[in-house]
Chains A and B, each alone.
Chain A
Amino acid sequence: MIHAVDPAQQALLAHAIAAQLSDDDSDRGQRATLSRREFLRSSSAAGLVLGFACLPACGALATSPVDRPGPPVHAPFTPNAFVRVAPDNIVTIVCKHLEMGQGNTTGLATLAADELDADWLLVRTEYAPSAPKIYNNVFYGEMQITGGSTSIANSFMQMRSAGATARAMLVAAAADAWHVPAAEIKTENSVLTHASGKRATYGEMAAAAGRLPVPKDVALKQPQHFTLIGKQNATPRVDSLSKCNGSAIYTIDVKLPGLLTAVIAFPPSFGAKVISFDSAEAMRVPGVTDVVQVPEGVAVVGTGTWAALKGRRALKVSWDESTSASLNSDAVLTQYRAQAQRPGTPFAKPADNMPAPATVAQTIEALYEFPFLAHAAMEPMNCVAWLRDGLLETWSGHQFTSLDHTLAARAANLPMDKVRLHTLVSGGSFGRRANFVSDYTVAAVNIAVAIKGRAPVRLQFMREDDTGAGMYRPMYVHAVKAGLDASGNLAGWQHTIVGQSIFAGTVLGSYTIKDGVDAMSVEGVSPSQYAIPQMRGDLHSPALPVPPLWWRSVGNSHSAFVMETMMDELAAAAGKDPVAFRLALFAKSEKGERAAGVLKLVAEKAGWGAPRHMGVAQGIAVHECFGTFVAQLAEVSMPGGKVKVHRVVCGVDCGVPVNPDVIRAQMEGGIGFALSALYYGEIEIKAGRAVQRNFDRYKALRINEMPKVEVHIVASNHAPTGVGEPGVPPLAPAVANALARLGIPRARRLPLVRAGLVAG
C-alpha cells in the first residue's frame, strides 16, 4: 500500500485532502505533490487521552479473552492514549486499527502487554475513536487508516513504548510506596514484587501511578526478554470467545433506541441516474417509514430489514441508463489486449549504469488476463448513523477512519468535532471497507440527514448490493516478453500493463501517482524482488465507470501471477531448476537475501524435487508483498481432469514475529482466499451491471476444496512487517506452476473455471 510520509509533508497532505474535497468533481485543481518517504518511528504518544466515553447504547465494544460485559470502569491510571489500568487490575489496550479478522487487535495488545508485563488474561481491548493526531497510522502521516498490512509494523515501537511507559510508572509508584530502588522491583503477570516480600497488583498501584509525571523515552525490552511477543501459545486471540458464542457485535448487530433500517435502490448500471420514483406502494408496506432520494439512489427506510426490503421491492424507480447500460467487460478486455500491444507510460527502464545487454538467444512471450474481482466479505457493507442535537455518531467497521470522518461531517454539514465514529469489528473487508468516497458511511449519513435525524438508521447493503456495487479489483492485462541468453540466464524483460489506476482522481491521487504511473498498478513488477537485467515496463491506465479499489494484496494480486509463472517458464526454457533459477537472480538483488531465504526454507520443508505421490506435481512461487517475503509450494493433482490442491507449504519472513499463531492463520487464510479467486473469482459486466451478484455465481472456496497448509515462520530480527495480505500473491502462481508440470497447458486468463479445470 502507500508508503510513509514524513512530518514535513503532513500539512501538505491535509491541505491536499481539503483541496480535493472543496473541488468540484470535474476540477481536480492543484494538487500538492508528495513524494515517498521512508518509514518513520512515531514519537511516543504521551498526553491526555482524547477518548470519548463509550455511550451505554454502543454495545460491546470491549473484547476480551474472558467476557466481561458492563460499563467501562473509570481508570485513574491512563498514561497515554493506548493503555489504562483500572483498580480492579484490568488493563485496557486501545487499538487504533480495524479488526477485520486479521488479528491485529491481539497483536497490538500483545505489544503493549509484553512491555507492560501484564497478565494476558487480564487484558481487554477496545477500538480508538477518530483522532488522527493520536491514532494515526504512523507510516501515512496524520491519517487514521488500516491497510497495507501495516497495523503491527507501524505500531510496533509505539505500542511497546506505551506499555513500557505504563510499567515504568507502576514501578516508580511502587518504589515510592515501598521505599526501595525501582531497579529492585520485578513485574510479572500484572503483579509488582520486591525481594523484601512487598507485593501489589497493578490495580492496587494504579491510583498512585496515575499521580506521577509521564516519563519520556522509556527503555524497551531486549528481544530475549519478550514474554509474549513471538511466543507460541502465549497470546490466544482476544476476540475468539465472543465470536464463538454469538456475542460479538458487528455493525449489522448494533441496537439503538428507535433504530431504523434502510436499504437503497441502487442504480442498476454503473452511472445510471434517477429520473423519478413512485413511493406510494412502498409506503403502504407495513413497517416502511420513509422513502427518500439520496445521491446514492433511493433509500427505503423501515422499522426492520424485512420491511425495508419489501418496501424496496414495491418501490418504482425510473432510471436514466442512456450512458450507463453499455459497459461490457468482454469489450473492455478486447480493448485492453489491443492497448497492451502499444507503448504506454514508462514505469521501468534500464539504469544508465547497467551492463550492456546480453544477446538474447530465446524469447518467451505471454499475455495474461485478470478479471474484475469483488471482495465479498461475509458482512456486506453497512453503517449506522445517528444525527441529533447537532451531533453525528456513526457505528461501522471504519477502515479509513480519517476520510470517513471528514466525509461524514461534510455530508451532515457539521464540524469535525461534532462527529464521532465508533469502530466495531467487521465481518471481513479485504480492502473493501476503505475507499476514497467512504461510500457506505456517507450514504448512511445522507439517509440520516434526509429523515432529518428523526431516528438512528442503519444502512445495510444486501449481498446483491454489495457484490454489484463496483469497487472491484480492476481487470488487468499484462503483456510480457522475456529473453534468455545462450547460457539460459535472464537477459531482458519487456512488460506492458493495462488496467485502471486505483488512485487516479482520488483525494490521495498524488500520493502514489508519479510521472503518470500509479505505483499500485505495477507493484510486484517494479520494483521487483529480482534483479532483472534490461527491464522495461510501461503502463496504460484507462478510465472506466466502474470504481476500482484495492483488493487484498492490491497490485500483487495480479503481478505475482505474471512474474512467478513467467519465471517458471523461463527456467524450463533454460533447462534449469525453477528454484535455482530464482536463487541466481536473488543473488544479485537488494531484497534477494530474504526472498532466497524463504524460498529455500519452503523448498526444504516441502521436499522440493521429490513429490510425495504419483500424479502429484509441485509448483513453487515466492513474492515480496509490503515488505514481507512469502514462498509457497503447492502440491497439485488432476483427478478426473479437475484441479485438486492437496497441500501448500508456506514460508514467511515478516521480520520479528509478534503472534506466531496469528501469522500462521493469516497465511492459511490468504492461501484459501487466493485459491478461491484462482478457481472462481470473476465479476463480468454486461449492459453496465455486474452479472455475478451473490454466492451462487460469485462462488467462494468451500471447506472441501481447502488444501492442508503448513506454515514455517522465519526467525528474524528485522523490523516486523505485515501478514494480512502477503499470503495471497504466491498461491496462484504456485498452483499454476504445478499444473504446468502436470502437462496442463498454461491458462493465462483467470479464473481457472473458465478453462474447465475446476470441479465446482
Chain B
Amino acid sequence: MTVAHAWLAVIILTGAAASLARADDLRSPESFSAIGDQADRSRSLFVEAGRVLQHPRCLNCHPAGGRPSQGEDQHPHTPLVVRGLDDKGATALPCVTCHQAENFAPSGVPGRPLWQMAPREMAWQGKSLAQICEQIKDRRRNGAKTLTQIHEHLAHDTLVGWAWAPGGNREPAPGTQAQLGALIAAWIETGAACPIR
C-alpha cells in the first residue's frame, strides 16, 4: 500500500468514525493518532477541547470585565451583576442570591454548587484559543495550578461540569466532561502545545 493509500484509508476511517459519533460529541484522543507530529497532535487536541472552552456555557462566566454574560448570544447578564471582590458577586447580591445548588426549572435559573465567576486572570472572552491556552498553562494566571491540577479541574470540577447539564433550553457544551478530561489528559501527555494563533 502506498502512503497515499494509507492516508486515504485513514481519512475514510476517520470520516466513518465521525459519522458514527453524535454531532455534538467531542472527538476522542485516539481519533487524533493519525497526526504524526506530536506537537501538531497536541495542538489539535487542544483545538478540539476549545469547542468546550469557547462555548457560551463556559465563556459567559469567563469575561474580561466585571460583568458576566448570558445566553447563547452572550448578551450582558440581566440584571446587572458584578464579580465583586471574590468573584462571587457584589456585597448583598452574590451569585447565590439567584443561582442555587441545582438548576431550578420553575424559575429557569441555572444552578450548581458554588456558583461564581472565573477570576479576572481567567478571562477568556475576546481572546483567541491560542491566548486561552497560554493562559491556562501560566501558573501566574491559572490559580497556581500544575497541568495535573488543570486536568483535575476541567475533568472533575463540579461547576465546570454544569456546562454539560445546564438545564432549560440552554445548549450544553459539546461532548461530556469525561470526554473533555480525556482530551486534556492527552494534550498534556503530548506536551501541552498551544495553537499558533
Does A pair with B? yes
Q: Which residues of A contact B75 (CB under 8 A)?
A: 760
Mark B67-102 against chain A: 1 for CB-CB distance below 8 A, else 0: 000000001101110000000000000000000000
| A699 at interface, CB cutoff 8 A | yes
* CB atoms of A704 and B78 under 8 A apart: no
CA distance A760 to B69 in the complex (A): 11
CA distance A699 to B78 in the complex (A): 9
| A702 at interface, CB cutoff 8 A | yes
| A696 at interface, CB cutoff 8 A | yes
CA distance A704 to B76 in the complex (A): 14
* CB atoms of A759 and B76 under 8 A apart: yes
Mark A688-699 against chain B: 1 for CB-CB distance below 8 A, else 0: 000000011001
Q: Which residues of B contact A759 (CB under 8 A)?
A: 76
* CB atoms of B76 and A702 under 8 A apart: no
CA distance A694 to B14 in the complex (A): 47
CA distance A702 to B93 in the complex (A): 14
B82 to chain A, nearest CB (A): 10
User: Nearest chain-A residue to B108 (Cβ)?
Assistant: A696
A164 to chain B, nearest CB (A): 49
Within 8 A of B (CB), among A724-760: 759-760
Q: Which residues of A contact B79 (CB under 8 A)?
A: 702
User: Nearest chain-B residue to A696 (Cβ)?
Assistant: B78
B138 to chain A, nearest CB (A): 29
User: Nearest chain-B residue to A310 (Cβ)?
Assistant: B106
Q: Which residues of A contact B80 (CB under 8 A)?
A: 702, 704
A112 to chain B, nearest CB (A): 42
CA distance A309 to B105 in the complex (A): 13
CA distance A759 to B66 in the complex (A): 14
CA distance A759 to B80 in the complex (A): 10
CA distance A704 to B78 in the complex (A): 12
User: Nearest chain-A residue to B70 (Cβ)?
Assistant: A696
CA distance A132 to B143 in the complex (A): 72
A36 to chain B, nearest CB (A): 45
Mark B1-27 against chain A: 1 for CB-CB distance below 8 A, else 0: 000000000000000000000000000
B99 to chain A, nearest CB (A): 15
CA distance A598 to B142 in the complex (A): 60
CA distance A497 to B76 in the complex (A): 36
Within 8 A of B (CB), among A407-442: none
Q: Which residues of B contact A695 (CB under 8 A)?
A: 78
CA distance A760 to B79 in the complex (A): 8
Within 8 A of A (CB), among B102-121: 106
User: Nearest chain-A residue to B75 (Cβ)?
Assistant: A760
Q: Which residues of B contact A760 (CB under 8 A)?
A: 75-76, 78
User: Nearest chain-B residue to A700 (Cβ)?
Assistant: B79
Q: Which residues of A contact B78 (CB under 8 A)?
A: 695-696, 699, 760
Mark A709-728 against chain B: 1 for CB-CB distance below 8 A, else 0: 00000000000000000000
CA distance A704 to B93 in the complex (A): 14
Q: Which residues of A contact B76 (CB under 8 A)?
A: 759-760
CA distance A309 to B107 in the complex (A): 12
Q: Which residues of B contact A704 (CB under 8 A)?
A: 80
User: Nearest chain-B residue to A704 (Cβ)?
Assistant: B80
Mark B55-71 against chain A: 1 for CB-CB distance below 8 A, else 0: 00000000000000000
User: Nearest chain-A residue to B77 (Cβ)?
Assistant: A760
Q: A702-B79, A704-B80, A760-B75 are in contact. List 6 more A-B contacts (CB 8 A).
A: A309-B106, A696-B78, A702-B80, A759-B76, A760-B76, A760-B78
10 pairs of A and B residues whose beta carbons are closest in the complex: A760-B76, A704-B80, A702-B79, A696-B78, A702-B80, A699-B78, A760-B78, A760-B75, A759-B76, A309-B106
Q: List 11 A-B contacts (CB under 8 A).
A: A309-B106, A695-B78, A696-B78, A699-B78, A702-B79, A702-B80, A704-B80, A759-B76, A760-B75, A760-B76, A760-B78
